[in-house]
Structure 1
Amino acid sequence: MTPNPTNSGQAVTHQIEAYRSPETPASRGPRIADLVEAAAAGVPEAPALIVAAERTPIAYRDMVRLADDLAGQLVAAGLRPGDRVALRAGSNAEFVIALLAASRAHLVVVPLDPALPVHEQGARCQAAGARALLVDGAARDDGEEPSIRSWPVAVRVGPDGSAADSPLSVHLGPVTEPHPVTSTPDGLRADDAMIMFTGGTTGSPKMVPWTHANIATSVRAIIAEYRLGPQDATVAVMPLYHGHGLIAALLSTLASGGAVLLPAGGRFSARTFADDMDAVGATWYTAVPTIHQILLERLRSESGSEPARAKRASLRFIRSCSAPLTAETVLALQREFSAPVLSAFGMTEATHQVTTTGIEGSRDGANPASGASLALSPGLVGHSTGPQVAIVGSDGVTQPAGAIGEIWLRGATVVRGYLGDPAITAANFTNGWLRTGDLGTLSKAGELSIRGRIKELINRGGEKISPERVEGALAGHPGVMEVAVFGVPDPIYGESVAAVIVPRAAASPTLEELQEFCRDRLAAFEIPASFQEAGELPHTAKGSLDRRAVAELFGRQPQQSHS
């Protein structure tokens, strides 16, 4: 079946509406495409995307037209409303246009990490019941593609485009018949817009359903909290197939009429970051602490010219999410960029953002947006941007302000459970509340602070030790670029604290210096009993520390004791 790449918007609308089923009514809430089209109506000529190595702008009206064209091609290829379609692409125009087109055609999108092994891509496609896999570029013909039908998507932004009236065009193909519907995830609903897979760093990946309402509520809350609008622009630092990059950077920007630069090659580059920020006129960016550290290291290695510093000073704010932010990183970012640093907390099961520190100050009178205040409040991630947050003890009783307990969430952005696994849903959801597995405290004013993961606490002779707390202390050493802390078996205490550090090339600390440094900042039982050095630490695809991989890799290696 060969799709027609020149469908007009009106023809596409008629074609899609003709295939609407009673199970997928238009009243299910605003789709992703609806959110973006509403913004496009207000700023049709404004740049929505800046793409490719040439940093070519794509205006809102052109982006919507490309999405309409591709939606028509997907329908012509045999996909119907409610079908699942996997999307494997980098942070590029193909990802964005395919996402909007699939939404326009009432399909359920399943984003995949391109770096996943082929067998894992295939397993996720099969679990979601995907009928096609959209890929950026030609499908591989070496037998290494997943068994699902791969359909290449190509967005042309140069003068070689095939559209008669514009150099911008999108083409799907060659295509085969869609994969037959062999399975549908248990629990899938008509109002589901996307199926996200959890990272799987603490167990097997789980399928998380995002409804249209989940996404719209999350996007609108982020826009309102950070006051995003057509005057704002950002660089897609985080990959778009994860909630951090998808919801916070891409969709919140596009739904507010701003501009997103998609880096050359479809992935973040510290080498081009400054020029990318300048090219789009960035007013903010969001990343995980690891990437903030990479950027700071690069800035330290470059000459601090006044023009470069003036360019960096134009940011309204810097956002950090997906992992703990150390005091040293907060202060260094604020010094380099002369912008407030905001710390947010998010998770896939809550459609990304849950809480954030504010630009103008917290609700209990402090100003966590300032580097000094946030640095003095380790783990602070601010007030809720929508979900109800509770701190619950092991006995199921809500804890008073200041007490440590498990963070529970419920609200419009919190999903209903996991697809295909009622047992794991029952274990993690209680009467509409999501049990996050994270430990935290709430201030009297409702400010949340993260204290670690329940499953990652180190039990040393009955003393419960948070790896994040120990990491935060060690990260303050001037010779430490990155650190990971984990528990190792101990014949006397059951577990002891182990640390792996990535030293700065110019100032590698001695083991004695590290131990002495810890004595002034940690309780005696929290000080690592052993240290190792490494050139790098394993990270998840979204850039956060992969603790399970750290323990597996370094827990078996000889330890250098400092008991």
Structure 2
Amino acid sequence: MAVPTEAAVRESGRYRPPAVTGLVDLLDHQVRSRPRARALVAGADRVELSYRALAALADDVAQRLAATGLHRGDAVALLCANTAEFVVGLLGAARAGLVVAPVDPALPASQLAARLDALGAQAILVGHPSAEGTAGLPAWPLRVDLSRAGTATVSLDTGARVTREVRSAAQELSRQDAVVLFTAGTTDRAKMVPLTHGNLAASVRNICTTYELGPGDATVAVMPFFHGHGLLAALLSSLASGGCVLLPARGRFSARTFWDDVRAVAATWFTAVPTIHEILLDRSAQDYPGARAAPLKFVRSCSAPLNPATQRALERTFGAPLLSAYGITEATHQVTSEPLPQHGLLKHGTVGRATGVRLRVVDGAGRPCPVGTEGEVWVQGPTVTRGYLANPAEMAGSYGEGWFRTGDLGTLDEDGYLFLTGRIKNLINRGGEKISPEHVEDILAGCPGVVEAAVFAVPDSVYGQRVGAAVVVRDGENLGPEQILHYCRHRLSAFEVPGSLEVVGSLPHTAKGGLDRRAVEAAYVR
């Protein structure tokens, strides 16, 4: 079943998405029409930076980069937390015509070197003082100094000159490319996804249209900018629409200061992964300011499944609708979202409807599945990227005839709402019965007192594989494995019930906040 985009319908109403064509002109309308409006609120001192000042800093960086001998279309890495340095470095490099590869500053030096060597980056903009290793490339320290008096300056030391050699995956880049994101997916080797300026512009317009973002909106940057969730949904969509982004102290999310940040910037929304939502919910009795909090228009959840019971609890606590979305790097982040309440039904348990793309759920032969029938989710549209750099095998398996084959399993209902049911590669095969670990995790997470669950395949001499689980229980709860399994037996088929279950203190997560399944297997599969 294919679902048409709702963009045409939404754009015919009062809301108009920002008219941007990529990173280069992302700020232009705001600089012309609202130059003194807040673009960023940065750091522990929460210093405000206007659109005009932000654009001036980006232009300064662009001029300095243009004098280094780099050519348009060359790749540079950006090693920063969620700081003013990241934003200025990203926009400045884009204005210089360079392709920016944001990388996690917490990566071990060996992994950083491997990624940047595979990309063929020419240099690294370093805005993170604790970042280790430079992968043997010219490392250019980037610093933004902000004062409460309203002055803002940038320094970029390009003393270590570049010896330009276009090699590795960088040979496949062009002037149309804006960003390269690294995504590990379910493989050990990180894949490199090139996003064009057109991909980014289409994604920003879709996100802004879905949530009707505008100059009156503000958010707190929770998710890291080196992945699509934080980069597209929080940062670029806010700046394109004229909103304001608060960058927390040290460029990192802190549950302890989060609600103070929300109040400081008068945030109207924020987006995060379920793990962070769970943390905020668990700490709400001591941290949430209640009536003193800034009124939120909505809260967004993406990058991992959100348990419907948690979703309802968050809505009751924070007094705002919580909208689940589905995003993938290969489609420049957002694919679907629950709509704002005034624009459609909220169907908790789904990830909403297509936003600016077409969806198909297909069977093993690539034929569209009937309503309610599980199959693989395929995506097509202007946000879908052209493929992976220097990885023809993954390209052949994932891209074809304009569609991206996500590897995610799901169903579509009669209204075009998508229900995700798991990952094809994660399925557990118990004697021929295919079990979705995500489905079992959802049931486990619904057990009163359970905070989070991880489900995995355990080798079995009789069935080939059986279901194993590791579960985190809320502090103060007297909940043991047998009580949790008893809960499952009334809600799962017999073959889906975990054959072994362990209560653990915590579970490992990826940098994006999702469950790190490889680390879970290494720790608990015996």
Q: TM-score range by the shorter chain?
A: over 0.9
- The Cα offsets for residues 396-452 of structure 1, whole Å up to 9 and x where unpaired, read as 211111110000111100011111122220111121111100001111221111010
Tell me the SS of whatever aligns to 2:371.
Answer: coil
Structure 2 gaps, min length 5: 1-19
For residue 154 of structure 1, the aligned residue among 143, 147, 167 is 143
Task: Name whichever of 249-258 and 474-483 sits farther off.
Answer: 474-483
Q: How does 1:277-288 map to 2 (within 5 A)?
A: 277-288=262-273
- The answer as to whether partners of 1:497 and 1:529 remain within 8 angstroms in 2 is yes
Tell me the SS of whatever aligns to 1:277.
Answer: helix
Matches of 1:229 and 1:436 in 2, distance apart? 31
Q: How does 1:517-556 map to 2 (within 5 A)?
A: 517-556=487-526
Matches of 2:129 and 2:408 in 1, distance apart? 42
Q: How does 1:247-326 map to 2 (within 5 A)?
A: 247-300=232-285, 302=286, 308-312=289-293, 314-326=295-307
- Counterpart of 1:203 in structure 2 is 188
- Counterpart of 1:407 in structure 2 is 377
Q: Which residue identity is paired with 1:347?
A: I
Tell me the SS of whatever aligns to 1:31.
Answer: coil
User: Structure 1 residues 362 and 517 mapped into 2: Cα distance closer, same or farther (>3 Å)?
Assistant: farther
Q: Which residue identity is paired with 1:551?
A: E
- Counterpart of 2:109 in structure 1 is 118
Matches of 1:43 and 1:536 in 2, distance apart? 46
- The Cα offsets for residues 171-225 of structure 1, whole Å up to 9 and x where unpaired, read as 0015211143140425323311111111344331111110010000000111011
- Counterpart of 1:38 in structure 2 is 29
Determine if the alignment matches structure 1 residue 484 to structure 2 residue 475.
Answer: no
User: Structure 1 residues 137 and 400 mapped into 2: Cα distance closer, same or farther (>3 Å)?
Assistant: closer
Determine if the alignment matches structure 1 residue 469 to structure 2 residue 439.
Answer: yes
Q: Quick one: percent identity of the two aligned structures?
A: 51
- The Cα offsets for residues 448-504 of structure 1, whole Å up to 9 and x where unpaired, read as 110100010111111111111111111122221111111111111111111101111
Matches of 2:342 and 2:399 in 1, distance apart? 32
- Counterpart of 1:561 in structure 2 is none
User: Structure 1 residues 544 and 303 mapped into 2: Cα distance closer, same or farther (>3 Å)?
Assistant: closer
Deviation at 1:554, TM superposition (A): 0.8
For residue 345 of structure 1, the aligned residue among 326, 332, 357 is 326
Determine if the alignment matches structure 1 residue 176 to structure 2 residue 157.
Answer: no
Tell me the SS of whatever aligns to 1:34.
Answer: coil
Matches of 1:452 and 1:79 in 2, distance apart? 44
- Counterpart of 1:212 in structure 2 is 197
Tell me the SS of whatever aligns to 1:253.
Answer: helix
Q: Which residue identity is paired with 2:164?
A: P
Matches of 2:445 and 2:462 in 1, distance apart? 28
- The Cα offsets for residues 260-307 of structure 1, whole Å up to 9 and x where unpaired, read as 00000111110100000000100000000001001111113x176xxx
Matches of 1:426 and 1:287 in 2, distance apart? 32
- Counterpart of 2:17 in structure 1 is none
User: Structure 1 residues 196 and 289 mapped into 2: Cα distance closer, same or farther (>3 Å)?
Assistant: same
Matches of 2:294 and 2:231 in 1, distance apart? 26
Deviation at 1:41, TM superposition (A): 2.0
Greater Cα radius of gyration, structure 1 or 2: 1
- The Cα offsets for residues 296-332 of structure 1, whole Å up to 9 and x where unpaired, read as 11113x176xxx2113460000000000010121011
User: Structure 1 residues 550 and 78 mapped into 2: Cα distance closer, same or farther (>3 Å)?
Assistant: same
Deviation at 1:159, TM superposition (A): 6.9
Determine if the alignment matches structure 1 residue 357 to structure 2 residue 318.
Answer: no
Matches of 2:67 and 2:26 in 1, distance apart? 24
Matches of 2:519 and 2:287 in 1, distance apart? 36
Matches of 2:22 and 2:428 in 1, distance apart? 43
- The answer as to whether partners of 1:235 and 1:261 remain within 8 angstroms in 2 is yes
The number of equivalent residue pairs is 506
- The answer as to whether partners of 1:87 and 1:135 remain within 8 angstroms in 2 is yes
Deviation at 1:121, TM superposition (A): 1.1
Tell me the SS of whatever aligns to 1:131.
Answer: coil
Deviation at 1:359, TM superposition (A): 1.0
- Counterpart of 2:7 in structure 1 is none
Tell me the SS of whatever aligns to 1:426.
Answer: helix
Tell me the SS of whatever aligns to 2:94.
Answer: helix
- Counterpart of 2:477 in structure 1 is 507
Matches of 1:30 and 1:386 in 2, distance apart? 16
Tell me the SS of whatever aligns to 1:397.
Answer: coil
- The answer as to whether partners of 2:315 and 2:322 remain within 8 angstroms in 1 is yes
- Counterpart of 1:14 in structure 2 is none
Structure 1 gaps, min length 5: 1-28, 161-165, 557-563
Matches of 2:278 and 2:419 in 1, distance apart? 21
Q: Which residue identity is paired with 1:463?
A: E
Q: How does 1:325-474 map to 2 (within 5 A)?
A: 325-360=306-341, 367-368=345-346, 373-374=347-348, 378=349, 380-474=350-444
Q: Which residue identity is paired with 2:209?
A: A
User: Structure 1 residues 466 and 138 mapped into 2: Cα distance closer, same or farther (>3 Å)?
Assistant: closer
- The answer as to whether partners of 1:35 and 1:255 remain within 8 angstroms in 2 is yes
After superposing on structure 2, the runs of 4+ consecutive aligned residues of structure 1 that deviate more than 3 Å are: 137-140, 200-203
Matches of 1:344 and 1:87 in 2, distance apart? 27
TM-score of the superposition, structure 2-length normalised? 0.93
- The answer as to whether partners of 1:192 and 1:211 remain within 8 angstroms in 2 is yes
- The answer as to whether partners of 1:402 and 1:442 remain within 8 angstroms in 2 is yes
Q: Which residue identity is paired with 2:306?
A: L
- The answer as to whether partners of 1:354 and 1:385 remain within 8 angstroms in 2 is yes
Q: Which residue identity is paired with 1:169?
A: T
- Counterpart of 1:62 in structure 2 is 53
- The Cα offsets for residues 508-544 of structure 1, whole Å up to 9 and x where unpaired, read as 4112211111122111111111111221111110101
Bigger relative contact order, structure 1 or 2, given CA contacts below 8 A and separation 6+?
Answer: 2
Matches of 1:64 and 1:39 in 2, distance apart? 10
- The answer as to whether partners of 1:290 and 1:543 remain within 8 angstroms in 2 is yes
- The Cα offsets for residues 337-396 of structure 1, whole Å up to 9 and x where unpaired, read as 100010000000000000001112676xxx21xxxx41xxx3x11111111110111122
Deviation at 1:82, TM superposition (A): 1.2
